[in-house]
Amino acid sequence: MNKSFITVCASAIVAGLTAFGVVKACVPGENAGSAVISSDGAAYRTVNLSQTDYPDFTYAAESAVDAVVYVKVTIKQQQNYTLDPFFRFFFGDQATPQSREQQGSGSGVIIRPDGYIVTNNHVVDGATKVEVTLNNNKTYPATIVGTDPATDVAIIKIDADGLPVVPFGDSDELRLGQWVIAIGSPYDLRSTITAGIVSAKGRQMPHYNGEFKIESFIQTDAAVNPGNSGGALVNQKGELVGVNTAIISQTGSYTGYSFAIPSNIVRKIADDLIDFGSVKRALLGVTMSAITDEKAKELKLFSPNGVYIEEVLEGGAADKAGIRKGDVLVKVDSTAITTPSSLQEKVNSYNPGDKASVTVIRGGDEKVLEVTFQGTSTETGTKDIDGSTAFYGSKIKEASKETLAALGLKSGVEIVSVGPGKVQEAGAKEGFIILYVNDQPVSKAEDVINIVKKAKRAVYIEGVTSYGKAAYFAFGKD
């Protein structure tokens, strides 16, 4: 009897201790929260979280802030001022052109310790003077190394060494909901740091002026305002995962949506501009559209992912690889393609001449094709489909017999188009016939390219204009 009684008591004690432990574990302790009675008798609970429960941006902010700079630009604008009525009586109704300086500002990120800084193209576009102020308040004059309007990336440089940098991170690894911080100079408030999360990836914005754009923005809710453009978007490791570039707002100020260029795009463009002076952009040679739910049902796809190939450029990279109109492109190498912007972003990470495996769905079957990307006209020496050759932003081609006869020439190379680059900067115009390059006669585009490749420093070009007047222009190779 006594033995049974002892067993029952022991069991009760163990059960009680177990119940107490369970309740203690489930009920917040003093550090987690406390009950408070308000003046009207209502009870509410406050919760206290430990420091480890909060996202900590101190390392990222302190390690990156010194490498984010303030960029001040000066732009000269031409304005027409109507003459005073008294003068109009004598000189007629005419306007007097006058130049006016306008100041602008933005941000930039130091990416190399010898003074190379990435910013937005729209920050320095049209600037006649650029100044950079570091976080230690030292100010330097800056030169524009190169710009790429298609991605809104620009590189500027200051004459300094041993500068702090923000290391590049992999923007492809960003996850929705991940914490990021934005660093810049909104409204001239230097070194301002704001925090937010990654709200979306692969965003595009509408363009109504027909400009060619490559966009796959990171959308965040970190506060970004005018002046933040060109500043850093940084992860908690202190790595650069994007360059802040735009907001969507009806007031012109931050309203909850901001956009950054992914660091993987920025890094490729920056390397090209620094190393080559222009962007060596890969082209697939297709026009495409998004896969809607209706399109997916029509094509009997399992999901509305991928892009629908509307057209394939004849002679382009896709055409040579065997991609056809009506294919659904779902993968490039190991990267899944879900939208047109994701395909643009992936293709933009390659250089002309690079190879990739492209997966398409055709008639319900999956096919893997190998594509060799072609280049754009910005790559000097590249042959275009129309037979012209890229030449420092312009296109050159062997002059036709009709053109040569009209000008009384036996041979020559015609500049058939002029775009942003050294030829345009040297003042050359379309229709110019190149006769000599560095004192050597030329008759084909290949002659021009080969002579320029051998030139050590300057390129001196002689010829005639489209109306037969002797002329020349020159530029440096570097």
Q: What is the DSSP string of 302-351?
A: SSS-SEEEEEE-TTSHHHHHT--TT-EEEEETTEEP-SHHHHHHHHTTS-
Q: How far apart are CA 42 and CA 34, in angstroms?
A: 14
Contacts of 403 (CB under 8 A, 6+ apart): 414, 433
Nearest to 259 by CA among 229, 227, 214: 229
Q: Are 306 and 293 in contact (CB under 8 A)?
A: no
Active-site hit among 63, 122, 172, 221: 122
Structure tokens at 189: 């408030």
> 412-424 burial, b for 16+ CB within 10 Å, e for fewer?
bbbbbbbebbbbb
Per-residue pLDDT tens for 288-307? 888 888 888 888 788 788 88
pLDDT at res. 7 = 57
Within the chain, which residues score under 50 in pLDDT? 1, 22-23, 25-32, 80, 83, 86-92, 208, 210, 377-378
pLDDT at res. 174 = 92
3-state secondary structure of 369: strand
Helices (H), 47-98: 58-64, 85-91
Q: Are 131 and 158 in contact (CB under 8 A)?
A: no
Burial of residue 442 (CB within 10 Å: 0-12, 13-18, 19+) is buried
pLDDT at res. 22 = 46
Q: How far apart are CA 445 and CA 396, in angstroms?
A: 6
Q: How far is CA 51 from CA 27, 32, 54, 55, 56, in A?
A: 20, 12, 6, 9, 9
Contacts of 297 (CB under 8 A, 6+ apart): none
Residue 207 annotated in active site: no
Active-site hit among 105, 216, 229, 349: 229
Which amino acid is it at 407?
A: L
3-state secondary structure of 10: helix
Active-site hit among 105, 148, 152, 388: 152
3-state secondary structure of 32: coil
Q: How far is CA 45 from CA 29, 30, 50, in A?
A: 12, 11, 16
Place of tokens 């001239």: 188
The distance of Cα 419 from the centroid of its chain, to the nearest Å, equals 21
Contacts of 88 (CB under 8 A, 6+ apart): 82, 94
Q: Are 180 and 200 in contact (CB under 8 A)?
A: no
DSSP string, 370-426: EEE-EE-TTSTTPBPTTS-EEETTEEEEEPPHHHHHHHT-S--EEEEEE-TTHHHHT
Residue 6: enclosing H or E segment and its boundaries? helix 2-26
Contacts of 277 (CB under 8 A, 6+ apart): 145, 146, 422
DSSP state of 27: S
The count of C-alpha atoms lying within 13 angstroms of the C-alpha of 459, restricted to the half-sphere facing its C-beta, is: 20
Place of tokens 């070194």: 191
Which amino acid is it at 80?
A: N
pLDDT at res. 324 = 92
Residue 221 annotated in active site: no
3-state secondary structure of 286: strand
Q: Are 374 and 384 in contact (CB under 8 A)?
A: no
Residue 103: enclosing H or E segment and its boundaries? strand 95-110
Per-residue pLDDT tens for 312-334? 988 889 999 999 998 999 999 98
Q: How far apart are CA 345 and CA 337, in angstroms?
A: 10
Q: How far apart are CA 153 and CA 269, in angstroms?
A: 7
